[in-house]
Amino acid sequence: MPQTAEKAGRERPSVAIIGAGPAGLMAAEALAGKGIAVIVYDAMPSPARKFLMAGRGGLNITHSEPLDRFLTRYGAAAPVVAPWIRRFTPDDLRAWVHGLGIETFVGSSGRVFPMGLKASPLLRAWLRRLDGLGVTLKARHRWTG
Ligand SMILES: Cc1cc2nc3c(=O)[nH]c(=O)nc-3n(C[C@H](O)[C@H](O)[C@H](O)COP(=O)(O)OP(=O)(O)OC[C@H]3O[C@@H](n4cnc5c(N)ncnc54)[C@H](O)[C@@H]3O)c2cc1C
Question: Which phi and psi angles does 133 have, rounded to 5°?
Answer: -85, 0
Ligand 1 pocket member 113 (CB < 6 A)? no
Among the listed residues 132, 96, 123, 118, the one whose alpha carbon sits nearest the alpha carbon of residue 21: 123
What is the CA(106)–ligand 1 centre distance, in A?
23
What is the CA(125)–ligand 1 centre distance, in A?
18
**Quick one: CA dihedral 90, 134, 100, 112, positive or negative?**
negative
Among the listed residues 81, 83, 118, 82, the one whose alpha carbon sits nearest the alpha carbon of residue 97: 118
Using the atom order of ligand 1, give the atom closest to the CA of residue 42. 44
Neighbours of 118 (CB within 10 A): 17
Provide the pLDDT confidence category of residue 9 given band limits of 50, 70 and 90: low
Using the atom order of ligand 1, give the atom closest to the CA of residue 57. 3
Task: Give the closest residue (by CA) to ligand 1 atom 1.
Answer: 54
Ligand 1 pocket member 90 (CB < 6 A)? no
pLDDT for the residue numbered 87 = 97
Residue 11 pLDDT exceeds 80:
no
pLDDT for the residue numbered 12 = 83
Rounded Cα gap, residues 127 and 36, in angstroms: 17
Look up the CATH number of domain 1-54+119-145: 3.40.50.720
pLDDT in tens, 40-95: 999 999 999 999 999 888 999 999 999 999 999 999 999 999 999 999 999 999 99
pLDDT for the residue numbered 7 = 53
Residue 17 three-state SS:
strand
Label residues 38-56 b or e (16+ Cβ within 10 Å = b). Answer: bebbbeeeebbeebbebbe
pLDDT for the residue numbered 5 = 42
Domain edges within the chain:
1-54+119-145, 60-116
Provide the pLDDT confidence category of residue 144 given band limits of 50, 70 and 90: very high
CA distances from 53 to 27, 42, 97, 103 (A): 21, 17, 18, 20
Residue 29 pLDDT exceeds 70:
yes
Question: Which phi and psi angles does 40 have, rounded to 5°?
Answer: -110, 125
